[in-house]
């Protein structure tokens, strides 16, 4: 008859398992191998799912191209997780303390009950600096201005954020026609973007400008592009320092509001918001904070950072974060002030649009579903691909065009001399 193992033995077994799992998670090649069974499980699950409501990904038997795109997403995630430094014991304690402090502060100030009151109104952007450049044969203007945003001194992580010198200068890439007033689209890039060449491609900016005849302003998000702190654009924005994402999102609201104030001074024939991935988060958030937006399109959107972090973290990090009340606790509560799901959209329902990928393993289809539900089930388009598959999808391009033109965002294409 077997007897129960002593508690000390059980603890040692658990500790050994966590040590092995942690050691393996440091090896990109090992994590890349684990991407294959995860991909196989997901692809099989998609193929066997029954059709749901309009807000759920459609059920269809996956094609080889679809499976390859899922593997691509999983490999990128696996390699990125393996290369990032893993948090140490002191990091868990520090992040837990910052989030606990933030929760108490936010509760005391009433920001959790009234999230909009957390955001301060910036001064209008009146006289920005300009320079010019060209990327992918497309001339552009670069609008430059001091951001002017800092966390309140009493907020945790404020001193760390204030030390990010490169982040203090905000900018936006602008494509505009000079012949007459036109509609403007404020297009917001995704994570790891923020460079003109990447944003021109990733935001369909050249198509919007040349083919639809629109003016386009593309703000650079905090800690991205020329505002980055390390070689990777945006790395410090979405890190284990979860209070950083709160500061980053709050500063992004401030900076985008300043860009919007400049756009509105250009006599626009309407203003739309369009964002991809992290930019979809920002477009959704701004749609709940800013009046006077005529249409909003959220592409492959993220809307819940703590949930994304929990889903994509190695098991030992997720469990330890829960143990320290970082996840399933303070992170979710503190992020309420910058969550699109905490704000009722101010854009009419008929002018809210979402598109997402059935095989997206980075933002995940459930993120788009959450936004679709919160937005009272507006029009949504699903394409059979991964996180960046929208770039190759004619369905997405047609949906984007129809979303904007149905909202009145179309001008006659410019003459060749104006391109």
* Residue pLDDT, tens place only, 166-200: 999 999 999 999 888 999 999 999 999 999 999 99
Q: What angle do CA 87, 102, 111 make, to 5 degrees?
A: 140
Which pLDDT does position 169 carry in this prediction? 97
How many CB atoms are located within 10 Å of the residue 290 CB? 18
At 197, list the tokens.
């060449």
* Gap between the Cα atoms of 321 and 325, Å rounded: 6
Which pLDDT does position 70 carry in this prediction? 82
At 42, list the tokens.
């997901």
Average pLDDT over residues 349-375: 96
DSSP tag of 202: H
* Locus of tokens 């593997």: 71
Which pLDDT does position 2 carry in this prediction? 42
DSSP tag of 112: T
Which pLDDT does position 1 carry in this prediction? 42
Alpha helices in 110-223, H assignment, sequence order: 158-162, 196-202, 205-206
Lowest mean pLDDT among 33-47, 118-132, 149-163, 354-368: 33-47
Beta carbons of 6 and 61 less than 8 angstroms apart:
no
Which pLDDT does position 107 carry in this prediction? 98
> Per-residue confidence at 312, pLDDT binned at 50, 70, 90?
confident
Q: What angle do CA 412, 414, 419 make, to 5 degrees?
A: 150
Which pLDDT does position 15 carry in this prediction? 59
Instruction: Give the burial class of 197: count Cβ atoms within 10 A of its Cβ; 0-12 exposed, 13-18 middle, 19 or more buried.
Output: middle
> Per-residue confidence at 207, pLDDT binned at 50, 70, 90?
very high
Which pLDDT does position 83 carry in this prediction? 53
Count Cα atoms within 13 angstroms, Cβ side, for 265: 11
> Per-residue confidence at 50, pLDDT binned at 50, 70, 90?
very low
pLDDT at 21 > cutoff 70: no
* Locus of tokens 């094609």: 63
How many CB atoms are located within 10 Å of the residue 126 CB? 10
* Gap between the Cα atoms of 237 and 223, Å rounded: 6
How many CB atoms are located within 10 Å of the residue 48 CB? 9
Beta carbons of 186 and 217 less than 8 angstroms apart:
yes
DSSP tag of 273: E
Lowest mean pLDDT among 23-37, 71-85, 352-366, 390-404: 23-37
* Gap between the Cα atoms of 283 and 276, Å rounded: 8
Which pLDDT does position 77 carry in this prediction? 76
At 92, list the tokens.
């868990």
Interval 58-88: pLDDT, tens: 665 578 888 888 888 877 777 666 556 678 8
Beta carbons of 45 and 358 less than 8 angstroms apart:
no
* Gap between the Cα atoms of 396 and 381, Å rounded: 7
First to last CA, the chain: 83
pLDDT at 381 > cutoff 90: yes
CA neighbor of 280 nearest in space, from 175, 355, 204? 355
CA neighbor of 116 nearest in space, from 126, 108, 106? 106
Average pLDDT over residues 87-93: 91
Which pLDDT does position 75 carry in this prediction? 78
* Gap between the Cα atoms of 309 and 95, Å rounded: 14
Could you give the strand order of the β-sheet that contains 129-135, starting from the edge strand earlier in sequence? 129-135, 138-146, 169-175, 215-219, 184-188, 271-276, 295-299, 352-357, 379-383
What domains can be seen in the chain, in order of their start residue? 89-418 (3.40.50.1820)
Please tell me which residue, 152 or 17, carries the higher pLDDT value. Answer: 152
pLDDT at 32 > cutoff 70: no
Q: Mean of the per-residue pLDDT values for the chain?
A: 88
At 218, list the tokens.
């593309």
pLDDT at 206 > cutoff 90: yes
CA neighbor of 226 nearest in space, from 153, 290, 167, 157? 167
Give the β-pairing of 295-299 and 271-276.
parallel
Interval 129-179: pLDDT, tens: 999 999 999 999 999 999 999 999 999 999 999 999 999 999 999 999 988
pLDDT at 300 > cutoff 90: yes
Lowest mean pLDDT among 53-62, 330-339, 392-401: 53-62
- Strand-pairing partners, residue 216, are 175, 185
* Gap between the Cα atoms of 270 and 183, Å rounded: 5
Alpha helices in 150-241, H assignment, sequence order: 158-162, 196-202, 205-206
């Amino acid at each position: 008859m077997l007897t129960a193992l002593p508690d000390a033995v059980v603890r040692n077994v658990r500790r050994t398992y966590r040590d092995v799992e942690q050691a393996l998670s440091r090896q990109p090649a090992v994590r890349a191998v684990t991407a294959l069974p995860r991909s196989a499980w997901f692809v099989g699950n998609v193929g066997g799912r029954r059709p749901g409501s309009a807000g759920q990904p459609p059920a269809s038997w996956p094609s080889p191209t679809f499976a390859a795109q899922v593997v691509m997403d999983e490999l990128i995630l696996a390699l990125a997780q393996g290369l990032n430094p893993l948090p140490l014991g002191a990091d868990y304690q520090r992040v837990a303390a910052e989030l606990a402090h933030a929760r108490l502060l936010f509760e005391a100030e009433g920001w959790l009950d009234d999230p909009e009151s957390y955001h301060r109104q910036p001064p209008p952007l009146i006289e920005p600096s300009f320079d010019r450049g060209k990327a992918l044969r497309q001339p552009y203007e670069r609008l430059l201005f001091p951001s002017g945003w800092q966390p309140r001194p009493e907020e945790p992580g404020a001193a760390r954020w204030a030390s990010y010198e490169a982040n203090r200068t905000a900018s936006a890439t602008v494509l505009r026609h000079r012949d007459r007033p036109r509609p403007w689209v404020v297009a917001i890039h995704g994570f790891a973007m923020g460079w003109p060449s990447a944003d021109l491609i990733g935001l369909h900016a050249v198509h919007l400008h040349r083919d639809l005849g629109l003016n386009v302003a593309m703000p650079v998000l905090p800690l991205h592009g020329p505002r980055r702190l390390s070689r990777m654009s945006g790395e410090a924005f979405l890190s284990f320092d979860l209070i950083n994402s709160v500061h980053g999102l709050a500063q992004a609201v401030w900076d985008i509001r300043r860009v919007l104030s400049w756009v509105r001074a250009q006599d626009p024939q309407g203003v739309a918001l369009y964002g991809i991935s992290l930019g979809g988060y920002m477009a959704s958030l701004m749609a709940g904070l800013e009046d006077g937006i005529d249409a909003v399109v959220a592409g492959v959107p993220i809307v819940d950072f703590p949930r994304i972090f929990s889903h994509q973290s190695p098991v030992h990090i997720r469990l330890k974060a829960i143990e320290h009340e970082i996840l399933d606790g303070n992170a979710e509560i503190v992020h309420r002030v910058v969550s699109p799901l905490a704000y009722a959209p101010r854009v009419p329902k008929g002018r809210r649009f979402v598109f997402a990928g059935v095989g997206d393993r980075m933002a995940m289809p459930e993120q788009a579903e959450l936004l679709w539900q919160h937005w009272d089930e507006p029009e949504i388009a699903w394409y059979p691909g991964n996180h960046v598959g929208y770039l190759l999808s004619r369905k997405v391009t047609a949906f984007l065009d129809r979303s904007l033109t149905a909202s009145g965002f179309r001008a006659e294409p410019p003459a060749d001399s104006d391109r």
